[in-house]
Structures are given as structure tokens and as C-alpha cells.
Structure 1
């Protein structure tokens, strides 16, 4: 199991980074917010989980052990795989996910693309007691969306990233338009993507 990686960043994508470890470039899938924190040429330290499938080995990376632990925990629920777990952390912070589960906030959970009412109910049913058992006080957790990135090419990249996370083309387009329509609107891909994720998480 690859528990963490450390090395210079060779490439930063919208939802992935390539980190060189021992002369080998490792592709690490992350949330847009985590990818935006990385800089090409600078060293990155990511907590990682290796997901092994018959046809693939996929590495997922996180800026801290908290997000990694939650990523692994939500996958114990039937029907929740790594892509959906990563989408949850792309829309909400780890504390926000725990708060939504602890408070049975189905509305917050269903803001994640791919999670419907039944899936949200299953998450609450299977994880609520476990989250409360470790001493999490729902009242102390604020449900806040996590951190995205204006010419047409930049907007197209952001829309593609949002669609890849599960939103429809219209939802992605509307979100990008809302967050870029203003005097002080963000212009970089990562900034627009973070802003769009906040908008979609409302």
C-alpha cells in the first residue's frame, strides 16, 4: 500500500497531479482544491490511498490524513466507490461531510453529483453512529463547500472538469457564468473551479 508520496510536482491538472518519487512520475487523483494548492516544480507531500482493481491501480491523494480517513470511511457504505468518495470531498470539506451525516442532512449530501436521496439515507444509516462514536459534535461542524478556477478556453476547461465530477453541462455552464460575471471575478482555471464548486454546493 502506498500511504503517502513526497517529491517535486511535474504536472498539475484540474483534479490530478503528477509527483516524481524516486525518478518515477506518479499520477495522483485529487480534489480540485488539493490540485490547486500544488505548484509545478515545488515539492508536494500527499497522503494517499491506492485503489486496486483487476484492470487498474489508481492512486488518490489528499492534503491531510483527515480527508484520507473520510475518503476510506465513506467507501465502506454499499454503492460508494472512490470516484463518488472523491466527489464528496470536492463539494464539501471533511468536517462538512461528517456534519451532514451526523445531522442527517440529506439536502447537503445530495448536492454531491451521483448521490441521490436513497444513497444519502444509506450514508446516514451506516455511518452516523460511527461518526458520533468518535466524539464528533455536530454543533461544532459548519457545513461549508470545499474549494475551482476568463477567456472561453479557460471557461471550457472548468466546465469539462465540473462535468467530469458529475454535474450536467447546463449546471456546469450556469455555475461558471455566475462566478465569472462580475468586476472582481476570478480569471484563473483553479480559482474559477473553486468558486463554481462553492456555487454548486449551495
Structure 2
């Protein structure tokens, strides 16, 4: 099992990063927010989960160990594979996901593209007694991001939202709402998270 991966970032895509470790490049699939937080040439430290199939080995990466643990836990539900589990964490942060499951909030769970009412009810039924509160973990303070031109922020966020299942009109509407409210200081990861919250209303 590969639990963490630390190395130089060689490539950043919408839903993946390539991390070089000891001369080997590992493709790591991630949520759009996690991928957008990486910088080519910088160092990445990701909590990871290796999904083994008969014909493939796929590595998924997360900003925190709690995200990785939830990713693995939700896959114990019948019908939930790694791609849907990743989409859940792209739309709902860990505290929101835990609260939705614990409280039986089907409406919140169905905000994830690919999860219908029956699927959400099954997730609640199978996970309600299994999801515990995360352990308190100290977080290092991050430096303030450098403002980017609007197009440089809008385009990757729009592509990420469309890739998660919303149409272009919905994506543009959410981005416009966030930019009108929060202005030009919003980074790509922050814009994506805010747009996801906007779409979840």
C-alpha cells in the first residue's frame, strides 16, 4: 500500500498530477481543488490510496489523510467506485460529507453528479454507523496566493465543473456569482470550492 507520496511536481492537469519520486513519475488522480493547489516544479506531499484492479494500478491523491480515509470508506458502499468516491470529495468537504451521512441528509448527497436519491439512501444506510469524527490534526498555515488574471482562474475551474457533471451554463453562472462576490483575490482552488458551494445551494 502506498499511503503517502512526496516529490517534485512534473505536471498538473484538471484531475491529476504527475509527481516525480526518485526519477519515477507517478500519475496521481485527485480532486480539481487538490490538483489546482499544486505547482509544476514545486514539492507535493499527498496522502494516497492505491486502487488495484486486474488490469490496472491507479493511484489517488488527497490533501489530507482524512480525505483519503473517507475516499476508502465510501467505496465500501455497494455501487460506489473510486471515480464516484472522488467526485463526492470534490463536491463535499469531509465535515460536510460526514454530517450529511450522520444526519441522513439525502438532499446534500444528491448534489454529487452520479448520486441519485436511492444511491444517497444506500450510502446513509451503509455508512451512518461507520463514519467517525476525524482526529484533530494541526494544519500548517499557507501563504496568501498571488492574484491571477480572471481568465487564468475561470477556464480551469469551468473545465473542472463541467468534468464533474454540470453543464457549461451552470458552471459559468456559479463562477460569475463567486467572482462578483469575492473579487479578483480568489485563487483557482478557492474559486473552485466556492463555485461548488454555489452549485450546491
CA distance in 2, matches of 1:126, 1:183: 38
Deviation at 1:182, TM superposition (A): 5.4
Q: Does the CA contact (< 8 Å) of 1:113 and 1:165 recur in 2?
A: yes
Q: Does the CA contact (< 8 Å) of 1:19 and 1:26 recur in 2?
A: yes
Question: C-alpha offsets along residues 90-144 of structure 1, whole Å, 9 cap, x if unaligned?
Answer: 111112111110000111111111111111100001111222xx4x49xxxxxxx
Q: Does the CA contact (< 8 Å) of 1:150 and 1:187 recur in 2?
A: no
Give the equivalent residue in structure 2 for 1:201: 200
Deviation at 1:47, TM superposition (A): 1.2
Aligned residues between the structures: 188
Deviation at 1:152, TM superposition (A): 5.1
SS in 1 for 2:123: helix
Could you list the runs of 5+ residues in structure 1 that have no partner in the other structure?
138-148
2:165 matches 1:166: yes
In the superposition, the TM-score normalised over structure 2's length comes to 0.82
CA distance in 1, matches of 2:67, 2:156: 25
2:35 matches 1:35: yes
Q: Does the CA contact (< 8 Å) of 1:100 and 1:106 recur in 2?
A: yes
Q: Does the CA contact (< 8 Å) of 1:101 and 1:124 recur in 2?
A: yes
Question: C-alpha offsets along residues 16-40 of structure 1, whole Å, 9 cap, x if unaligned?
Answer: 2111011011111111222233222
Q: Does the CA contact (< 8 Å) of 1:104 and 1:124 recur in 2?
A: yes
2:89 matches 1:89: yes
Could you list the runs of 5+ residues in structure 2 that have no partner in the other structure?
135-147
CA distance in 1, matches of 2:188, 2:118: 34
* 1:1-202 alignment, distance < 5 Å: 1-131=1-131, 134=132, 136=133, 151=150, 154-181=153-180, 184-186=183-185, 188-202=187-201
RMSD: 2.3
SS in 1 for 2:67: helix
Cα 1:191/1:67, change in 2 over 3 Å: closer
Deviation at 1:60, TM superposition (A): 0.3
